Amino acid sequence: MRLWGKPKFWDHYDVASGPHKSLFNFRRVWLLAVVVMSVVSLLPLIFITVVNYRATKRGFESEIRLRTTRLVSNIRRSVAFFLEERRSAIEFISRLHGREELNNPARLAFILENLKKSFGGFVDLGVVDAQGNQSSYVGPYALQGKNYADQDWFQQVFQKGKYVSEVYLGYRRVPHLVIAVKHPDGNGDFYVLRATLDTERFNHMVTGAESTETGDAFLINHQGELQTPSRTFGTLLKKIPLPVPEYSSHTETFDFVTPDRTPLMIGYAYIQDSPFILLMVKDKNRLMKEWNWTRLELIGFLVFSVTVILLVILGTATYLVEQVYLADQRRVAMLHKVEYANKLASIGRLAAGVAHEINNPLAIINEKAGLIKDLFTYRSEYRADPRLIGLVDAILHSVERCAAITRRLLRFARHMEVSIQTVQLEEVVREVLGFVAKEAEYRSIEVRVEVEGEIPPFETDRGKLQQIFLNIINNAFAAVSDGGRLVITLKREKENTVSVSFADNGRGIPPEDLKRVFEPFFTTRAGQGGTGLGLSITYGLVQELGGTIQVRSTVGQGTCFTVSLPLKYEKRKREIDADTIGG
Amino acid sequence: MRILLVDDEAELVSTLTERLSFRGIEADWVTTAEEALEMAEKGSYDVAVLDIKIPRISGLTLKKLLEERHPKMKFIFLTGHGSEEDFRIGSAEAGEDYYLIKPVNLDLLIEKLKEITGAKA
């Protein structure tokens, strides 16, 4: 089968197809096979791939969500712990030391020094009385005696007992946050121990925790203002362009698309006992980078599989339909051959019957006319008129012509037994050439015999073989002009067959005549003594010997008859033949 | 030389007999196998010319019957079925006999008759 190009069945059009036309419409069969096979094999593949695609995508998303959640939780714990630790430390100090002791600046400085050393992150420390006056202060700024009574943080600590402030600039115009603890001093009064924390350390804790490049972690207050600097959203106290997430006691994530269409995954957590919300913003496109590769693999696999499957289906369908088509062609050819052989056989039978029936009255005419001639010859009284004897001769001549025709017809459908003997093929050919040697010489026709390979002696009917060869050679001689050429090639064709081909360089046979050359009475030499029986007789004889005869011809270049004969002769069952023909 | 002609076509054999007599060959004719056997009993014939197809019995069978009774008798067959040659010698069933195709060429018949009987005219 050709791998590429249009298959043979594609342009097939069966003129003879009747009610079962669709059965023999090969293109439709092919299309049906391709469509059915494609649907059956591709549909499940595409379905499975889509399911797999979506499952994998969901898996990826949930994994990055989980990772974000975990990271946010970790940072939240650290931040919460950081604040809690420092708040506890201050509370501990307020419980341990009395008000008088804390109002002693030297003592307070000593405590701040120790806090700095033990915890780090402390900037200053102050004691504020119930009226909001800072009664004692140690730290880098001059805040002694400042009143905080009207400030929010003081109100809050007054109500709740403890307070962690948002990051704010305050009097010092430096970002800081405040941790304050209210402590009762026994006689119904209270004081507040207040510490300022280093936002530097605080910032570092939040931003430094997110070591990967994929995210941006920062704190905001409940108004959405930045409490630590953000890589994406800028500096401190700026309002971020994101919604402030709803309160939740757990770490949560949500998706958000920015106005410039960047999909974000945001993880957040409210930090307990503080005004802070921890936010971690990640660019989803960058997170899904790994997914993109997997997706490419999945789609690539699908495209590759579909291509391979389609190619295989196309190839298989084409091959199979081509085989069916070729088998069908062989069947049709065989049918035509059998029909043709049957036609020839029945014509032969008819011819034989006619010839035989005519032969008897012909014999009588022959004898009667012969007798009349005899009477003229032997009896003097009839000899007077020379015209009469001329007439009788004419009758006898016509009888002879009729007899020649019936004899040929009978030869065509002869019932003689085949007489089998061992023959040398080349010898038979040479023998037959002997019959025509004179004509060949006279017309200077070149006759060449070529033997290819070794041809063993084989059993066949010598007489019939001679007849076959003689007929073909006579035909060739009739076709070539004087000085022409005839090449006879003997060849061992297969294990069990030999072939003899007769190639002449005569005028050739037109294609429309080529189909009919073996039909009885078909002749192109009607006016020149051709009866149209020669080749049909030859055809019958070759069949009787169990062989085949083929003819190829090109007009103007010549004709080649090839007779193939079996090396093993098998007797043909004429009776069975007769039955099938119905004669 | 005496000839017996056997053929179911009376017109054919009678004419043939007459023509042979013109040429000095003595011949009798019959149209059935029974008559042929009867005639063969009466006269001594050198050659029997038999049609291959005679009613009820084939020429070959008749030949066998005649041969049994008259071992010296020679045979020539006439046949309506042609072969590639005008005559042929020998076949599986008939042995070394002559076959002539109808319509018969009289000169050829006489030639063969002479040949078969050893050229005594």
Question: CB within 8 A of A512, min separation 6: which ones?
Answer: none
Question: A182-234: per-residue pLDDT in tens?
Answer: 988 777 788 899 998 888 877 887 877 555 556 788 899 998 888 888 888 88
Q: Which helix (H) or strand (E) holds A414?
A: none
pLDDT greater than 60 at residue A3: no
Residue written as token pair 């059009």: A13
Range of the structural domain that residue B36 is part of = 2-115
Q: What are phi and psi of A32, to 5 degrees?
A: -60, -45
- Pairing state between β A558-566 and A548-554: antiparallel
- Give the residue with greater pLDDT, B75 vs B100: B75
Report how far apart the first and last C-alpha atoms of chain A are (Å, whole number): 44
Query: Phi and psi for A57 in degrees, rounded to 5?
Result: -65, -45
Q: What whole-number distance in Å separates Cα of residue A557 and Cα of residue A555?
A: 6
Nearest-CB residue to A374 (from B19, B84, B91) = B19
Which residue has 């001329």 as its token pair? A390
- The mean pLDDT value for A360-388 works out to 83
- Give a yes or no: residue B80 inside a domain: yes
Which burial class, exposed, middle or buried, applies to A240 when counting CB atoms under 10 A from its CB (0-12, 13-18, 19+)?
middle
What contacts A86, CB < 8 A, 6 or more positions away?
A119, A121, A122, A179, A195, A197
- Which residue type occupies A255? D
* Amino acid letter for position A286: R
Does pLDDT of A269 surpass 90? yes
**Which position has the higher pLDDT, A166 or A269?**
A269
d(CA A368, CA A374): 10
Q: What does R_g of chain A's alpha carbons equal in angstroms?
A: 59
Q: Does some domain include residue B77?
A: yes
Contact of A125 with A193, CB cutoff 8 Å = yes
* Nearest CB to B104 within list A363, A368, A409: A363
Hey, what are B99's tokens? 């076959």
**B12-21 pLDDT tens trace:** 899 999 999 9
Query: Could you tell me if B106 lies within 8 Å of chain A, comparing CB atoms?
Result: yes
The CA angle A295-A299-A302, to the nearest 5 degrees, is: 145
Closest chain B C-alpha to A415 CA, distance in angstroms: 8
Which pLDDT band holds residue A526 (cuts at 50, 70, 90)? low
**How many A×B Cβ pairs under 8 Å?**
75
Residue B120 belongs to a domain: no
Q: What is the pLDDT of residues A46-70, one digit of tens each?
A: 999 999 999 999 998 899 899 889 9
pLDDT at A364 over 60: yes
In a domain, B59, yes or no: yes
* Mean pLDDT of the region A360-381: 85
Q: Which residues of A touch B103 (CB under 8 A)?
A: 359, 362-363, 365-367, 399, 403
Pairing of strands A176-184, A190-198: antiparallel
Residues 6+ apart with CB under 8 A from B87: B98, B99, B100, B101, B108, B112
State how far the Cα of A573 lies from the Cα of A556, in Å rounded to an integer.
41
Residue A537 in contact with partner chain B when CB distance is under 8 A:
no
> Please, which residues 349-368 of chain A have a Cβ atom closer than 8 Å to chain B?
352, 355-356, 359-360, 362-368
Structure tokens at A10: 């594609």
Are residues A365 and B83, on separate chains, in Cβ contact within 8 Å? no
Spatial contact of A526 and A513, defined as CB atoms under 8 Å apart: no
Closest CA to A322 of A27, A7, A34: A7
The first and second tokens of residue B46, run together, are 């050198």
Domains observed in chain A: 97-201 (3.30.450.20), 417-583 (3.30.565.10)
**ipTM field:** 0.80
Which of A363, A337, A220 lies closest to A281 in space, CA to CA? A220
- Please say if the pLDDT value at position A2 is more than 60: no
List of chain B residues whose C-beta atoms are within 8 Å of the C-beta of residue A406: 82
Residue A528: the pLDDT is 59
Q: What confidence tens digit (pLDDT) does each residue in A402-431 have?
A: 887 787 777 665 544 456 677 888 888 887
DSSP output for A81-92: HHHHHHHHHHHH
Alpha-carbon distance of A242 to A259, in angstroms, equals 10
Q: Is B72 inside any structural domain?
A: yes
> Where residue A110 falls among pLDDT bands split at 50, 70, 90?
very high
Taking only the tens place, the pLDDT of each residue in A293-329 is 888 999 999 999 999 999 999 999 999 998 988 888 8
Distances (CA, A) of A132 to A113, A162, A340: 24, 15, 128
Residue with token string 């006269």: B43
Interhelix angle B106-117/B10-22, nearest 10 degrees = 70
- Alpha carbon distance A165, A153 (integer Å): 7
Instruction: Tokens for B18, please give them.
Output: 């007459």
The answer to whether B81 faces chain A, any CB pair under 8 Å, is yes
Q: What is the pTM of this model?
A: 0.49
CA distances from A426 to A350, A456, A462, B62, B120 (A): 35, 10, 12, 42, 43
Amino acid identity at A439: E
At residue A153, the pLDDT reads 81
Probe site for chain B from A358, A360, A406 (most B CB atoms < 10 A): A360
For A170, phi then psi, to 5°, come to: 65, -160
Asked, for residue B121, whether it belongs to a domain, the answer is no
Q: Any chain A CB within 8 A of the CB of B19?
A: yes
Other Cβ atoms less than 10 A from the Cβ of A13: the count is: 8
What is the token pair recorded at A131? 């009226």
Domains: count for chain B: 1
- Tens of pLDDT, residue by residue over A15-42, are 554 545 545 678 888 999 999 999 999 9
Mean pLDDT over B9-35 rounds to 90
Q: Testing the interface with B: which of A366, A367, A405, A408 to mutate, by most B Cβ within 10 A?
A: A367
Q: Is the pLDDT of residue A529 over 80?
A: no
Domain annotation covers residue B16: yes
CA distances from B66 to A277, B39, B92 (A): 140, 11, 19
CA B62 to CA B65: how far, in whole Å?
A: 5
Q: Do residues B50 and B59 touch, judged by C-beta distance below 8 A? A: yes
**Cβ B19 vs Cβ A370: under 8 Å:** yes
CB contact under 8 A, B84 and A378: no
Mind telling me how many Å the CA of B2 is from chain A's nearest CA?
Answer: 20
Instruction: State the distance between the two ends of chain B, measured CA to CA, in whole angstroms.
Output: 7
**CATH code at position B41:** 3.40.50.2300
pLDDT tens digit string along A470-482?
888 888 888 888 8
